Structure 1
Amino acid sequence: MELPYLEDVSPGTGSLPPRAWYARSDATSLSLNGSWRFRLSPTADAADDSFASDGYDAGAWDTVAVPGHWVMQGHGAPIYTNMVYPFPVDPPRVPTENPTGDHLRTFDLPDDWPATGGGTLRFDGVESCARVWLNGTELGEFKGSRLPHEFAVGHLLKPSGNVLAVRVHQWSSGSYLEDQDQWWLPGIFRDVTLLHRPEGCALDFFTHASYDHRSGTGTLRVDSDVDGRVTVPELGVDVAAGESVTVAVEPWTAETPRLYDGVLATAGERVPLRIGFRTVAVEDGVIKVNGRRILFRGVNRHEFHPETGRALDRDTMRTDVLLMKQHNINAVRTSHYPPHPAFLDLCDELGLWVIDECDLETHGFTEQGWRDNPVDDDRWTPALLDRAARMVERDKNHASVIIWSLGNECGTGRGLTAMARWIRARDTGRLIHYEGDPSCADTDMYSRMYADHAEVERIGHRADTEGPESRRQLPFILCEYGHAMGNGPGGLSEYQELFDAHERNQGGFIWEWIDHGIKHPEFGYAYGGDFGEELHDGNFVCDGLVFPDRLPSPGLDAYKRVIQPVRFAYDEDAGTVRITNLHDFADLSHLSFEWAYHVDDEAASEAGELAVPPGLGPGESVDLKLPDPPPTSRDAETFLHLTAMVGVKTNWTKLDHGVARAQFAVTPRPAVRPATGERPSQGAEFITLGPGTFDPRTGELRTLNGIPLPGAPRLDIWRAPTDNDNGASWQGGQRNGLVWRELGLHRMQHRLDAVELTDDALTVRTRVAPAARDIGLRTVYRWTSDGSQLRLTVSVTPEGEWTVPLPRLGIRLGLPAAYGYAHWFGGGNGEAYPDTAAASGIGRHFMPVDRMQTPYVRPQENGARADVRWAELRAGFTGEGVRVVGEPAFWFTARRWTTEQIDAAAHRTDLTPGDTVWVHLDHGQHGIGSQSCGPGVLPRYELHAAPAEFAFTFSRREATPEEEPPPVAPPPGRSSL
């Protein structure tokens, strides 16, 4: 049976050969972006082809924006699956129910359109299969959603009334090659452009610009399909295309993205060139650029916008690159397809290493043990080679692209080998990556996803004995690690230590850059299942370092600190700081350095500049003498703050932008003075002790300094499980969130055993335990007072066999809604947990409780502040309130809903502020880890059930109307850049 074109395994017909992409030349062009007429049909053959003919009346059709996806514009709905195909797996066949969008655009040629020469119609991206007509003549059809396709149309153009018709099918044989973890979003989602092609125009060209780090020279050769000349005025270069020239140059790197402007001039066209000289190689099992080992501090990036899907404008692309640069990220893997080429222009200009990945993933075939996998079926090889060629030819002139990736999660097969061979023959100046083949037969590096720390250490030692010996001689990268789904990821600092310790371990790429939450009137942001999908993977699509609106998450702030390119080490005995340059190429001349001493919660008492030698090269260190800490007349903590800031003008951030920082304790925290001496008094209705009144039957605190407590302080061990707590079904090891719930830790029962009054204390004895289990926590609350302060000492003793860590250990209490302004001395500004606290700095922080919440798309445990010495909940910034001092320091969380309400919520909009501020004062928190797709919590960050004792001292915070409000702190998710 002959299959229709949309099910044929061929890449299409009628398209011109792939070639280099460039945004502009002196040839005329016409953008066909804008409003198009649109008709949606439920099947591929529901409507005839007459709409492509001249004179067709589409006045009754709807309109859609191009670039755009019709499902993002009210026609049908998005579908999210991570791995499985949302249609029966019967390659290359697709369902009869196949949404098909007919697009129609009428246009006139501009007045300056030349009368001679040809014309090319370019589509930069259409999902998943398109058939094209111009003025009633069929041009052809194509697949390969994220790659350009061009058609020769000069002979069909007329001065006015041109009719461009495009039929787009959601499903095609190409869909089997595009099973990436993302939304399925059909439509013409990238630019459509008409290009005039004058006689003698440039066709394809390949800029080769290598760098010799020994001589400091670059060798340039621009191969061109058409004779022409290449000029680079700054270098005095004027040579024929195809001719090599060697000159002294400054090299291009991600840290120093030096570009030279040039021109390729043919008889009919002048094409601007942006040339970066660099050489990429594997030497002695290490990836080197310009002779030096590089370390990837990277992210994976899908193209996404919460309102327009994969249709991104240039400003959004620039925002992404600037945010990456401002958070010390130096590399991007373009998961899992080539991005819009304008994004690569920005990577060239601003400086990012790029792994450019082919538009290829067949992940859904794992459901049948990779049977019928297209990458191991010779019938599909032409389509695979077409995709490889369109990627390489389009992007080959970008200095930022140093590695080609064959695709993602395709298993193994002959098609991948054919792609690798073609790429090597076409481009000898870049490396090849593919993660899915453990033999590394076709690649220049060993790549893994989500290997745990122990495995990464073995790989660093070349002690990974499972694979072939040849693999152990290759450089190693984690193409995905640190799954940034919800709260997290944790354990990044320990990965970075392994990257720094082993030359072979050359870094990795966090999964991923952005949450793919789609803006929704009811849910705020929608994820899988919110559009009625039959099959979906829930909020697994929301796993980014930035939220859908591109506000940075706490995870991004933590990652910035983990990968910061300057290391500080403080020697208290010598009074010196060692500064180490962790850049791969740059010295420190672009940075300025400051030191400051902070005493307790006061502003910096002494500060100054650090005279760091600007020529301090990569990997070099210097020891600098610091001024002595300030003398203190009272017991106080003293902290040393060290900061590196941008000190020269740059194109990616402002002056004084913080690049690196560190904090060191110079003197310890003084002991908290016990609040004792007051005798509890038994009254008719209450027990009174200092500023507190208690229920005589239960021993629960009812008022504090006259403030009624909607929730009395009591032991709390539950947290709304994070995505990383819950883990993934395919992950090994214990999924704590599920086990906690199975044990009943979300519904602990509190049994009162005794209320005891003595001369100096009120003691309440309880047992806290889950129903149906024989485990519990024997808990004693001991209250004392000195008359003005009230001290609570909590003693916890586990009973039974606890085989799982605790989610948290502390107390929870409720305050009236008016006490909604938080002021604390401890970690901040944003949230932190034991293994995600790299960005947390001890200091004085102010924030309304409403802004302490981290807006994860799926609500979960969030908002804890680490290492808090004291915290106040106030009625306004200057209002009276409650002060809490912890012994030892504690984790502080405050919010207007309970943990149980967070646990029950599916979306942010499910959370409605109540009339109580719920305050968590935690002695311990379990770590976060990365088990939503990676490894769980490292043992050092697990919170095990063990005997514990901790104390909190409560007192009144008096109103201070003379106090001036501080600058409003940025909320969680907004980085202080």
Structure 2
Amino acid sequence: MSSSYVEDPAPGPGSLPPRAAFSSGARSVSLAGTWRFLLSPSPAAAPDGIERDDFDDRGWTGLTVPGHWQLQGHGNPAYTNVRYPFPVRPPLVPSDNPTGDHRLVFALPDDWPDEPAVLRFDGVDSCARVWLNGEELGVTRGSRLPTEFAVGPLLRPRGNVLAVRVHQWSSGSYLEDQDMWWLSGIFRAVTLLSRPVGGVEDYQLHADYDHVSGLGTLSVTAAEGVLLSVPELGVENLPAGAVTQLAVEPWSAESPRLYHGEVHTAAERVPVRIGFRTVAIEDGVLTVNGRRVLFRGVNRHEHHPRFGRALPREFALADVLLMKRHNVNAVRTSHYPPDPYFLELCDTHGLWVIDECDLETHGFGELDWAGNPSDDPRWTEAYLDRMRRTVERDKNHPSIVLWSLGNEAHTGRNLAATAAWTRERDPSRPVHYEGDFECEYVDVHSRMYADHAEVDRIGRRDDPNERRRSLPFLLCEFAHAMGNGPGGLLEYRELFERYPHVQGGFVWEWLDHGLARHDEDGREYFAYGGDFGELIHDGNFVIDGLVHPDRTPSPALAEFAKVFEPVRIGAGAGGVQIENHHDVVGLAHLVFRWSHEHDGLESSAGSLAVPEVLPGQSVDVPLPPLPPLSTVAGEGVLTVRAELAADTAWASAGHVVAWGQLPLTTATAAPPAAGTVLVRDSGSLRLGPGVFDADTGRLVALGGHRVEGPRLDLWRAPTDNDRGSDEPEAGQWRAAGLHRLQHRVAEVDGGGSALVVRTRVAPPGLGFGMLADYHWTADHDRLRLRVDVEPEGDWPCTLPRLGLRMAVPGALGSVEWFGAGPGEAYADSRQAARIGRFSSTVDALQTPYVYPQENGNRADARWLRVTSASGAGIRIEGEPVFDFTARRWTSEELDAARHTVDLVPGELVHLNLDLAQHGLGTASCGPGVLPRYRLHAQKASLTLTFSPITPEGAAR
């Protein structure tokens, strides 16, 4: 066979018909390990005869399989979101097509049975030609789909030679443009499977549930002679095709009840796990077991920062556990079927799944979809083949409630044919595909990145398309989690809950796809597009997850968990209101604990008696016994937490599922600092504990600490969302010169007990600016500042921030505050922040976004302390509150950095003390900041009090 197979759009020849993924008692051998490997620049340059026993591969290197060759020192990864990294002329690919030859010599176990056998590849990117013992088996296409070859007669006890020639580019590459790293190789399991004569060739479980009667209907479709047994249900030797009804507990994402059984013949026994559930669309609402489902979901690529898509199982488990612990209840497998183990985990732990076919042709959008395979009859069989392999492999998973035809492949006859085949093959699950904008061949209406107003219109069924109006609606992608953000999750949730047929969505996406690298000093950082010398790339657009590449949760995941918590706790008419927002279960699995806090310190605690609350219902319970509020000094808050009452498979007892806070009392404002007389001293001005420069009026020392005193600041290092959209906020801010403001001191007026400094802050070359007047007063140890700002001229844009910037000695590296925390919070992403007293270090306050940007803002601080190891430092109080960030580099240095290793700590700690910041939005791919969270130039005042802290007074 010549290399023409590389460009053939048809499915790869030689493979067996697709079937369900399963394991049994039959023998199998994993062929994972170190293979011999040679990378050639093209198929023409690859050596002949690699399939022969006597081929000499001693000059080759070792390569770990499963694995990608680019991540093992052979070539480089490349990232594009949309554009193909090769000329577009389907199905042709470049002659310069890196080709990786893999060879493995293996022996059979001594007790290997003399019966048929299958060689199974679970994933090869992008196309491979396979030989065993000199005989060609066939060709694989469909990188993230299984391929099996019959090999029984070819096997020998020793010295089996398996040769696999893998091509980076093939006709299949046109169907695999899926916004991820282009990585090649045998990246999923390779397994030799014995197939007993008379064994189980394939099977499909049918386990429906009638929510009215509580009965499950059970059967199995398989060859004659195949039986199903489920001892727990009293089912023994149910023949294929026979149906039985049973009283069962249903499966759901919230209560993933599985029954263990076997599909078996006299020759083979296959363990199965059965979940009873029925998916339906009733009156335009998607239901499971008769109940509306709200998808609180994420999109998930498979990725590891060192192994790429060759994801070790422990990281798939880590993903599922993190999802469950952060109130994620659904996953869209973007944009291909995952490793089968992930679906087993979804069955076990409980996640709704949209299983997506390995298909995307997004790059044709750059050509106005000319030549797109979706409407080209040459590609029909390829489309159908990919969907068949998806459905047949995964058909027995109760977690899968929707089939998805693929992603961003426009529309056309091939997708319509695929939908028709899927619906006929498995009518038990609806069909999803976002690209069918008219909803001609799908069962749900799906959109990407629709803004809140559009979702509201859809919720009101304000749509001229009658077909779309009649369907359930979901956002298959929304709230682009790139960098700092997304903002606006709360407003989406409110829409999901307002309209029954608006059934949630899937945040893009779960994980940052950074690849681990080290700089010249050995410091690790995460690379993105362009870091490997790619000429065509999409930069850090691959860094867009709720979880960092090392699977550390980002602040966005905490925000997601809070916004979509399944229990809502707040103030009710009778005390504490508890709302159950689960789809299926009540609250009996939770305990409710309360704590009463004064000024952030717990004063009493206990348990709250909460009766059973059914899904969609609420109850008011009395307040716990508290001291008379009139006797409580300071700010009082009641915090109530809903915790797991017992261990689960995904979290231990005590895990906090939801929480809420009720304000009880407010603090009395401290009297303003005033009365100390201003003293002039040879170029300096002294006012209480502060020393000022006489010419500029800037604070230069506070209680013995050298400082660079506060002055107006309007700039922040732009976020990915600031830089996004067609008219990015960051571009407007830079055009307005907000990143290079200049300060002019108009007057320093010191007399009596006050110092007034009048300034104008403006960008060079432009006529608008901001007037900022600083009013300083003091008593003996407290220095009070009121800053009045007023815009001057015609401001052309919003403001990144409105506040003050100052610097203190680097030794002041410990931070404590009373306010919102413990994590960062911004105007439209702050639900996860609770009121309390928190402590940290300056370094730990930073969020290490892969692409550095504004981060670490703590909101609503009543007071802040920055101190040294000895306890000396500075206390800052708000009247009433302020936001703050503290970092060891300036906003300008943060703005200039491209990777975390670019940020070098300096000798100072830089504080931002803010009245407000502009919201985050999700304009990196989606809507911008909602109007209520946009920060405009306007008159405003910020009042703060500064006090030095001595070690003896550190506990004040």
Instruction: Tell whether the structures are fold-level matches, with TM greater than 0.5.
Output: yes
Are the aligned partners of 1:211 and 1:251 in contact in 2 as well (CA < 8 Å)?
A: yes
Are the aligned partners of 1:303 and 1:312 in contact in 2 as well (CA < 8 Å)?
A: yes
For 1:920, the aligned partner's letter is: N
For 1:526, the aligned partner's letter is: A
Match of 1:625 in 2: 622
Cα distance in 2 between the residues matched to 1:680 and 1:753: 20
Cα distance in 2 between the residues matched to 1:442 and 1:775: 55
In structure 2, relative to structure 1, the CA distance for the partners of 1:456 and 1:216 (3 Å cut) is same
For 1:295, the aligned partner's letter is: L
Match of 1:955 in 2: 947
Tell me by how many angstroms 1:577 deviates: 1.2
Map 1:666-677 → 2, pairs under 5 A: 666-677=664-675
Alignment of 1:798 onto 2:791? yes
Tell me by how many angstroms 1:243 deviates: 1.0
**SS across alignment from 2:911:** strand
Map 1:722-733 → 2, pairs under 5 A: 722-729=719-726
**SS across alignment from 1:243:** coil
Match of 1:569 in 2: 570
Tell me by how many angstroms 1:362 deviates: 0.3
Alignment of 1:946 onto 2:938? yes
Deviations 1:839-879 (A, max 9, x none): 10111111010000001000000000011000000002x51
**SS across alignment from 2:784:** strand
Alignment of 1:469 onto 2:466? yes
Map 1:249-648 → 2, pairs under 5 A: 249-465=248-464, 468-522=465-519, 524-571=525-572, 574=573, 576-602=575-601, 604-613=602-611, 615-627=612-624, 629-631=626-628, 633=631, 635-648=633-646
Tell me by how many angstroms 1:742 deviates: 1.2
Tell me by how many angstroms 1:164 deviates: 0.4
Cα distance in 1 between the residues matched to 2:937 and 2:733: 13
For 1:824, the aligned partner's letter is: W
Are the aligned partners of 2:736 and 2:796 in contact in 1 as well (CA < 8 Å)?
A: no
Match of 1:111 in 2: 110
Cα distance in 1 between the residues matched to 2:388 and 2:74: 33
Find the partner of 1:872 among 865, 875, 880.
865
Are the aligned partners of 1:776 and 1:798 in contact in 2 as well (CA < 8 Å)?
A: yes
Deviations 1:74-106 (A, max 9, x none): 100000000000000010000111111000011
Alignment of 1:716 onto 2:717? no
Deviations 1:447-487 (A, max 9, x none): 0001001111111110133xx21110101000000000000
Match of 2:171 in 1: 173
Are the aligned partners of 1:897 and 1:911 in contact in 2 as well (CA < 8 Å)?
A: yes
Match of 2:749 in 1: 756
**SS across alignment from 1:496:** helix
Aligned residues: 950
Match of 1:130 in 2: 128
Tell me by how many angstroms 1:960 deviates: 5.0
Tell me by how many angstroms 1:287 deviates: 0.1
For 1:408, the aligned partner's letter is: N
For 1:9, the aligned partner's letter is: P
For 1:655, the aligned partner's letter is: A
In structure 2, relative to structure 1, the CA distance for the partners of 1:506 and 1:634 (3 Å cut) is closer
Map 1:212-223 → 2, pairs under 5 A: 212-223=210-221
Deviations 1:559-578 (A, max 9, x none): 0000000112303xx55111
Match of 2:928 in 1: 936
Cα distance in 2 between the residues matched to 1:198 and 1:654: 42
Match of 2:734 in 1: 741
Deviations 1:240-271 (A, max 9, x none): 12211110000000000000001011132110
For 2:122, the aligned partner's letter is: D
Tell me by how many angstroms 1:663 deviates: 1.2
Match of 1:974 in 2: none
Cα distance in 2 between the residues matched to 1:665 and 1:367: 54
Alignment of 1:151 onto 2:149? yes
Could you tell which deviates more after superposition, 676-685 or 482-491? 676-685
Match of 2:684 in 1: 686
**SS across alignment from 1:842:** strand
Are the aligned partners of 1:749 and 1:768 in contact in 2 as well (CA < 8 Å)?
A: yes
Map 1:725-874 → 2, pairs under 5 A: 725-729=722-726, 734-874=727-867
Cα distance in 1 between the residues matched to 2:38 and 2:281: 52
Deviations 1:569-618 (A, max 9, x none): 303xx55111111000001011000122211132x2122211111x3210
For 2:269, the aligned partner's letter is: R
Cα distance in 2 between the residues matched to 1:786 and 1:963: 20
Tell me by how many angstroms 1:762 deviates: 0.6
Cα distance in 2 between the residues matched to 1:464 and 1:699: 61
Tell me by how many angstroms 1:425 deviates: 1.0
Deviations 1:363-404 (A, max 9, x none): 000111101100100110000000000000000000000100
**SS across alignment from 1:762:** strand
Alignment of 1:7 onto 2:4? no
Cα distance in 2 between the residues matched to 1:541 and 1:296: 24
Gaps of 5+ in 1: 965-977
**SS across alignment from 1:894:** strand
Deviations 1:17-74 (A, max 9, x none): 000001x211000000011110000012212331111121211111111110000111
Match of 2:913 in 1: 921
Alignment of 1:17 onto 2:45? no
Tell me by how many angstroms 1:920 deviates: 0.8
Tell me by how many angstroms 1:225 deviates: 2.7
Deviations 1:781-815 (A, max 9, x none): 11110121111110000011123211001111111
For 1:296, the aligned partner's letter is: F
Map 1:688-707 → 2, pairs under 5 A: 688-707=686-705
Cα distance in 2 between the residues matched to 1:575 and 1:783: 46
Deviations 1:216-244 (A, max 9, x none): 11011111135221100000002112211
Are the aligned partners of 2:725 and 2:928 in contact in 1 as well (CA < 8 Å)?
A: no
Could you tell which deviates more after superposition, 497-506 or 676-685? 676-685
Find the partner of 1:185 among 179, 183, 189.
183
Cα distance in 2 between the residues matched to 1:370 and 1:214: 48
Tell me by how many angstroms 1:142 deviates: 1.6
In structure 2, relative to structure 1, the CA distance for the partners of 1:186 and 1:226 (3 Å cut) is farther
In structure 2, relative to structure 1, the CA distance for the partners of 1:575 and 1:673 (3 Å cut) is farther
For 1:536, the aligned partner's letter is: H
**SS across alignment from 1:917:** strand
Q: Post-superposition, which runs of at least 4 consecutive aligned residues in structure 1 deviate over 2 A?
A: 627-635, 960-964
Match of 1:975 in 2: none
Cα distance in 2 between the residues matched to 1:806 and 1:670: 32
Cα distance in 2 between the residues matched to 1:634 and 1:264: 67
Tell me by how many angstroms 1:649 deviates: 2.4
Find the partner of 2:891 among 896, 899, 902.
899
**SS across alignment from 1:17:** coil
For 2:529, the aligned partner's letter is: G
In structure 2, relative to structure 1, the CA distance for the partners of 1:837 and 1:962 (3 Å cut) is closer
**SS across alignment from 2:5:** coil
Gaps of 5+ in 2: none
The alignment's TM-score, normalised by the length of structure 1, stands at 0.96
Tell me by how many angstroms 1:4 deviates: 0.2
Cα distance in 1 between the residues matched to 2:17 and 2:624: 67
In structure 2, relative to structure 1, the CA distance for the partners of 1:962 and 1:692 (3 Å cut) is closer
For 2:270, the aligned partner's letter is: V
For 2:656, the aligned partner's letter is: G
Deviations 1:327-352 (A, max 9, x none): 00000000000000000000000000
